[in-house]
Amino acid sequence: MFLASTEFAQKTDEAFWWITGIMMFFLVGITFTMIYFVWKYGRKKHPKASQIHGNTKLEITWIVIPTLIVLFMFWKGYEGFALMRRVPPGAMEIEVEARQWAWSFHYPKADITTTELYVPAGVPVKLLLTTPIDDVIHSFYLPEFRVKEDCVPGMVNHLWFQGDEKHIEGSPYPIFCAEYCGTDHSRMYTSVHFLSKEDFAAWMEKEVAQRYRPIEIDAAMDPSSPDIVESGAADLYATYCVSCHGKGGEGGMVEGARSFQSLADWKRGPSIPDMFVTLTEGLEGTQMRSFANLSAWDRFALAWHVAGLYEGTDRPNGERADFERVIKQYELDVQQDIPRPLDIEGTIEEMVEPADG
Ligand code: CUA
């Protein structure tokens, strides 16, 4: 990771080393000059101070030279900055949401959400970075490309990068949160995977199909079924639930957020199908919003994860009839409509064309 593998990284490192070099030169130069002056003009040799008045040549020199040096350092920094701010037209857009303490990535065209970033190599990628309004400032940092941008509540910032062949080989690369954001700041990391265009299209198609496949009741009722396990409910919980309900489901991180460690006073019932309904519709009059943007499988998986936070064995997770009722109510047993047309190849063509060189 130390060696610069991209143009961004080269520019950033160049600016860094130029500035460091110039500073080292002056640090050493000034320190030795001072020591020399102490020796040469010390009290022993010059018991009486002599006064000097004005020296135009010297004054011009020490104004002009530092000005040139500062301008040079600015230019070195600006080169990389300009490259980073100029997003090539037609870059592929991905929405990034940072929250305490997880990342999620939303691909608007395919309408899928992931907790790790997958991007095609050879295509510029533009990230639209944000944080929910009730969260804190985070910072998206991809060290391999030396790109970093703050995620600020209520704002959409952006950055872009582009990987190539060698990044497919080197994948995945780490992504960090570079802004101290609370207890688990240090664990707020994820990865970016670079795929060939074909693999990316295949990956996306699989994700989409996966997201909308019909619910099978036996799998939905079984927390150890692969469908439930592979939904990555722990990540979803970390992304969507922790900030209000707490890591262990103890609740109360915001006012009114219930504890999942108790069976008392559920507004809707605590069973899996009941939680599914709550996740789908939210709870009116509370801060619990709808998570219908998650796939039905993800909502079941999330409900099972929440159920798992209760430590007793007397939890009513729902009877088969309850699952049947909900599946029927939301017509979950048929392939669900994919909300937006999915033109993956078109998208990639579009993404590739305008990028220059
Ligand atoms: Cu998010 Cu540090």
Q: What is the pLDDT of residue 4?
A: 55
pLDDT digits (tens, 9 = 90+) for 220-269: 999 988 888 877 788 789 888 998 999 899 998 888 899 999 998 899 99
Question: Ligand 1 centre and the CA of 132: distance in Å?
Answer: 13
Question: Ligand 1 centre and the CA of 128: distance in Å?
Answer: 17
Can you give the pTM of this predicted structure? 0.64
Model confidence band, residue 56 (pLDDT cutoffs 50, 70, 90): very high
Whole-number mean pLDDT of the chain? Answer: 87
- Ligand 1: residue whose CA is nearest its atom 1: 138
Question: Ligand 1 centre and the CA of 252: distance in Å?
Answer: 21
Angle at the Cα of 355 from the Cα atoms of 84 and 144, rounded to 5 degrees: 40
Q: Taking the chain, what is the end-to-end CA distance rounded to the nearest angstrom?
A: 25
Question: Ligand 1 centre and the CA of 184: distance in Å?
Answer: 8
Atom of ligand 1 nearest to the CA of 179: 2
Model confidence band, residue 351 (pLDDT cutoffs 50, 70, 90): low
Atom of ligand 1 nearest to the CA of 98: 1
Question: Ligand 1 centre and the CA of 133: distance in Å?
Answer: 15
HSE, side-chain direction, 13 A CA sphere, residue 101: 16
HSE, side-chain direction, 13 A CA sphere, residue 55: 6
pLDDT digits (tens, 9 = 90+) for 116-146: 999 999 899 999 999 988 889 999 999 988 8
Predicted confidence (pLDDT) at residue 309 exceeds the cutoff of 90: yes
Q: What is the pLDDT of residue 13?
A: 87
Q: What is the pLDDT of residue 350?
A: 56
Q: What is the pLDDT of residue 357?
A: 41
In angstroms and rounded to an integer, the radius of gyration of the C-alpha atoms of the chain is 28
130-134: long-range pairs with CB below 8 Å, 24+: 130/95, 130/96, 130/97, 130/98, 130/154, 130/155, 130/156, 130/157, 131/97, 131/98, 131/99, 132/97, 132/99, 134/243, 134/254
Q: Hey, how many other C-beta atoms are within 10 angstroms of the C-beta on 123?
A: 22
The residues lining ligand 1, judged by C-beta closer than 6 Å to any ligand atom, are 98, 101, 138, 177, 179-181, 185, 188
Model confidence band, residue 352 (pLDDT cutoffs 50, 70, 90): low
The arithmetic mean of pLDDT across residues 89-97, rounded, is 91
Model confidence band, residue 5 (pLDDT cutoffs 50, 70, 90): low
Atom of ligand 1 nearest to the CA of 186: 2
Atom of ligand 1 nearest to the CA of 136: 1
HSE, side-chain direction, 13 A CA sphere, residue 174: 9
**Helix (H/G/I), strand (E/B), else coil: 334:** coil
User: Which of 191, 18, 179 has its CA nearest to residue 100?
Assistant: 179
* Amino acid (one-letter) located at 149: E
Burial of 172 (0-12, 13-18, 19+ CB in 10 A): middle
Question: Ligand 1 centre and the CA of 148: distance in Å?
Answer: 12
Atom of ligand 1 nearest to the CA of 177: 2
